[in-house]
Amino acid sequence: MTNNHTIADAGLFQTMEERHSVKAYDPSVKIPEEELKQMLEMSVTAPSSWNLQHWKFLVIDDEAQQEKLLPIAYGQKQVKDSAAVIGILGDIEANRNVEGIFTDAVKQGHLTEEIKEKIVGSINSLYEGDTSFPRDEAILNASLAAMQLMLSARGMGYDTCPMGGFDRDAFIEAFHIPERYVPVMLVTVGKRETDPRVSSRLPLDEVVVRNSF
């Protein structure tokens, strides 16, 4: 870390550096409701295409429900031992939010009614027909909220682990997920029982390309 960052930057960067995927949790830890609410409030400040906010969070913090989730997550112990599991769901019908969001923008003076109608029509047209667009957008934008959730949790002293390894069809059935939502990932939240293994990262010159390949 260079020395020209502000104090606020240093705190943010420290949070990012301290975030690691934790798989061993202290099962005695519970997250106070106010802290969980604050964590989620920060998560929904994530950006999204057209501000449609293509996400829904399924909070699973009841012990019986976590036990039910365990076989669906192929027996991964962190599902049961963490304080909560947050199911990150992507909204494949996020265009249904468009009228309310852009009507509010007009009321606040950010848009004219004419521009609003053009934007609404353009967005709705992209959700028509049998294309991958709604699903792609749901996964993209819900993933942004998931990352925000993990950073928020770390900033509050909690640990997380994003999980893609679970039976999505079984998850949908067991937790009665409406057809409007697609499961993107599970995020476990709690306090680490042991320090996680710090994984290596590829050097920047292997992952960064400037201007063009």
Angle at 141 (CA atoms; ends 6, 210), nearest 5 degrees: 60
14, pLDDT greater than 60: yes
Distance between CA 154 and CA 17 in Å, rounded?
10
Distance between CA 184 and CA 181 in Å, rounded?
9
pLDDT tens for 149-202 read 999 999 999 999 999 999 999 999 999 999 999 999 999 999 999 888 888 999
Given CA atoms 112, 117, 118, 119 in this order, what sign does their dihedral have? positive
pLDDT tens for 33-53 read 999 999 999 999 999 999 999
- One-letter amino acid at 87 equals G
Flag whether the pTM goes above 0.85: yes
Confidence (pLDDT) at 1: 47
Confidence (pLDDT) at 107: 96
| Domains of the chain and CATH, by start | 24-192 (3.40.109.10)
Distance between CA 117 and CA 180 in Å, rounded?
24
pLDDT tens for 61-119 read 999 999 999 999 999 999 999 999 999 999 999 999 999 999 999 999 999 999 999 99
2, pLDDT greater than 80: no
Distance between CA 52 and CA 122 in Å, rounded?
13
Given a contact cutoff of 8 angstroms between Cβ atoms, the answer to whether 134 and 82 are in contact is: no
